[in-house]
Amino acid sequence: MTDPKIIERAKTWLTDSYDKETREQVSKMLAEDSTELTDAFYKDLEFGTGGLRGIMGPGTNRMNKYTVGKATQGLANYLNMAFAEETQIKVAIAYDCRINNTFFADIVSSVLTANGIKVFLFDALRPTPELSFAIRQLQCHSGIVITASHNPKEYNGYKVYWNDGAQIIAPHDKNIIDEVLKITDVDAVKFNADKTLITMIGEEVDNAYLSKMATYSLSPEVIRANHDMKIVYTPIHGTGVELVPKALKKFGFTNIFSVDAQNVVDGSFPTVKSPNPEEPEALKMAIEKAKEVDASLVMATDPDSDRVGIAIKDKSDDFKLLNGNQTATLLFYYILNKEKEQLKGNEFMVKTIVTTELLKEIADSFNIENFDVLTGFKYIAAIIREFEGRKRFLVGGEESYGYLVGDYVRDKDAVISCAMIAETAAWAQSQNKSLEDLLAEIYVQFGFYKERLLSVVRQGKAGADEIAGWMDNYRNNPLKSINGIPVIAVFDYLNSIKTDMKTGNQTKINLPSSNVMQFLLEDGTKITARPSGTEPKIKYYFSVKGNLEKQEDFEKTEKELDTKLDELVKTFR
């Protein structure tokens, strides 16, 4: 039996404020009195610090015309307050391949223009990083991209950006949420578009984006010598289908193979279980193509093309999937190697606190300043903004397959990442090395780092309470050893305190407060516990370190590290 409060909430959607189709769908749910009704109406779809994301359909907890309309009205209200002195407020809008992509883009455009805001709307699907670029290129005050990233096909969402091209952070995120929460009546949403305020954009922004991107190439001569290196690329039905191949060609690569079935733009993602390049299954067809054409590099981007996963040929002519830390290691090492000839001492790079410490080791070896930030690329963008005009940003990345080269975009960018990863492979090839060889060389020089992610789910409120209890225990009774290895430092990011476990000395962590606990062990192992803010799930990030004396010991050392990771996972499962 459905909660009467939920039924009453659903009945409010039967008024003339809602269109006929919506009323009919809600009436059907009420008649069936199913779990679908409860899921759709038991709460409001939360406008979080980045925007909206949820399952599509009617209901207060769904992505639909009315929840998107309310969110956009709140955003419009805030923009009109924040930029009250501007003659014309401008917002850029992009969308990916998701079902209802143009429908939601039109709703957002309608509400913004009905509030007197000028809209630059892309004429077809585009990568999320190009939206970030367009905001800066067109001097917009904000931007919105319709995307649910790599979520299943039932989902859609949108992310909100500020005038620097980065996702919103404090104070704007909280202020926008406050305005959205004030929209309690759908009749307060202005849906009547002023079409004179909509300007369509397309190829001209593409060309500017690609041209700027190409200026970051560091080895044009190497690419010319290895232009015919065989590359297989798949957009997994998403927005990279046009621009990633164009970017590769712009850099000078001429031998690019596609996966025809996955070049079809389709928000139902018919060839994969999940359009997530972190999942091995998502690259399966691309690897089969690579074997067919004897390629050496496979790359796959997610639906909105802000993350990239790769596979490289190994010594047995099979393909090895790299995790996000390994790809970042290759990319960062290459860029710092090439940039070392023109360093002026004001360069820096950024990584997240859950990303491999190997990147800092590499940065230190080149005397490049490294900044650690909380999980989320908006924090990397915030560091770029902080030092703009004073220091030069080289590269940033996170373990979840997102990277950025240069600062012309202020979000992770799989388009330039694909081009620069290919350039890294060409650089290795010019030295008669594979990417596997290059990675092994890095491990010999700096230490063999290996990482793993564990997600532990506990259902319902009881599950959320259990996870909260774990975090309280980690915080109030910090572990002194893990699997027999002493803990030497504990990082409490909620209270912004680092504790030296040997001396008891505490120092301040200069990062925003976040419910994260991190343990550094005597042998270099790093373990991070990070609960989800939206579901009863906690993520554990494990990183272990070993010595690789010579490349020939790669497989043996890797197995040792994997065994160590297996034991750590058992401890926290």
Distance CA 394, CA 339 (A): 9
Question: What's the whole-number mean pLDDT along residues 209-219?
Answer: 98
Q: 147, 50 in Cβ contact below 8 A? A: no
Confidence of residue 49 (pLDDT cuts 50, 70, 90): confident
Full 3-state SS string of 509-557: CCCCCCCCEEEEECCCCEEEEEECCCCCEEEEEEEEEECCCCHHHHHHH
Cα dihedral sign for 27, 30, 35, 40?
positive
CATH code of 500's domain: 3.30.310
Backbone angles phi, psi at 24, to 5 degrees: -65, -40
Proportion of the chain above pLDDT 90, given as a percent: 93
Question: What's the whole-number mean pLDDT along residues 80-98?
Answer: 97
Residue 559 lies in a domain: yes
Q: Is the pLDDT of residue 525 over 90?
A: yes
Distance CA 476, CA 219 (A): 51
Both 250 and 184 in one domain: the answer is no
Both 289 and 178 in one domain: the answer is no
Residue 118 lies in a domain: yes
Both 89 and 125 in one domain: the answer is yes
Helical (H) or strand (E) element with 291: helix 284-293
The pLDDT, as a whole number, for residue 454 is 96
Number of domains observed in the structure of the chain: 3
Both 282 and 366 in one domain: the answer is yes
The pLDDT, as a whole number, for residue 484 is 95
Distance CA 96, CA 105 (A): 10
Both 131 and 174 in one domain: the answer is yes
Q: The tokens of 167 are what?
A: 């996702």
Identify the residue with better confidence: 242 or 532: 242
Distance CA 241, CA 126 (A): 9
Q: 517, 471 in Cβ contact below 8 A? A: yes
Residue 36 lies in a domain: no
Confidence of residue 486 (pLDDT cuts 50, 70, 90): very high
pTM: 0.95
Both 418 and 549 in one domain: the answer is no
The pLDDT, as a whole number, for residue 23 is 97
Residue 26 lies in a domain: no
In total, the chain counts a number of residues equal to: 573
Q: Tens of pLDDT along 558-568?
A: 999 999 999 99
Q: The tokens of 311 are what?
A: 């596979």
Both 440 and 454 in one domain: the answer is no
Both 187 and 233 in one domain: the answer is no
Residue 402 lies in a domain: yes
Residue 6 lies in a domain: no
Confidence of residue 573 (pLDDT cuts 50, 70, 90): confident
Q: Is the pLDDT of residue 536 over 90?
A: no
Q: Tens of pLDDT along 256-300?
A: 999 999 999 999 999 999 999 999 999 999 999 999 999 999 999
Final residue in a domain of this structure, among 423, 446, 469? 446
Both 229 and 357 in one domain: the answer is yes
Confidence of residue 407 (pLDDT cuts 50, 70, 90): very high
CATH code of 87's domain: 3.40.120.10
**Integer angstrom CA distances of residue 106 from 68, 103, 313:** 11, 5, 44
Q: 156, 99 in Cβ contact below 8 A? A: yes
Q: Is the pLDDT of residue 91 over 80?
A: yes
Q: Is the pLDDT of residue 1 over 80?
A: no
- DSSP code per residue over 488-521: EEEEETTTTEEEETTT--EEE--S---S-EEEEE
Closest CA to 90 of 68, 106, 112: 112
Residue 427 lies in a domain: yes
Q: Tens of pLDDT along 434-450?
A: 999 999 999 999 999 99
Proportion of the chain above pLDDT 70, given as a percent: 100
Residue 11 lies in a domain: no
Closest CA to 286 of 266, 256, 314: 256
Distance CA 428, CA 441 (A): 11
Residue 69: HSE in the Cβ half-sphere, 13 Å Cα cutoff: 23
Q: Is the pLDDT of residue 210 over 80?
A: yes
Final residue in a domain of this structure, among 428, 446, 464? 446
The pLDDT, as a whole number, for residue 534 is 64
Positions marked active-site: 149
The pLDDT, as a whole number, for residue 151 is 86
Distance CA 165, CA 135 (A): 5
The pLDDT, as a whole number, for residue 35 is 86
Which residues on adjacent β-strands are paired with residue 491?
498, 518
Both 425 and 491 in one domain: the answer is no
Q: Tens of pLDDT along 126-142?
A: 999 999 999 999 999 99
Final residue in a domain of this structure, among 161, 178, 201? 201
Q: Tens of pLDDT along 300-354?
A: 999 999 999 999 999 888 999 999 999 999 999 999 999 998 889 999 999 999 9
The pLDDT, as a whole number, for residue 130 is 98
Q: Which residue has the tokens 């994997």?
A: 562
Domain of 369 in residue numbering reads as 209-446
Count of CB atoms situated within 10 Å of the CB of 24: 12
Average per-residue pLDDT for the chain:
96
Question: What's the whole-number mean pLDDT along residues 86-109?
Answer: 98
Give the amino acid at 149: S
Question: What's the whole-number mean pLDDT along residues 213-227?
Answer: 98
Closest CA to 325 of 243, 237, 481, 448: 448
Question: What's the whole-number mean pLDDT along residues 111-117?
Answer: 98
Which residues on adjacent β-strands are paired with residue 161?
143, 167
Both 285 and 362 in one domain: the answer is yes
Both 424 and 478 in one domain: the answer is no
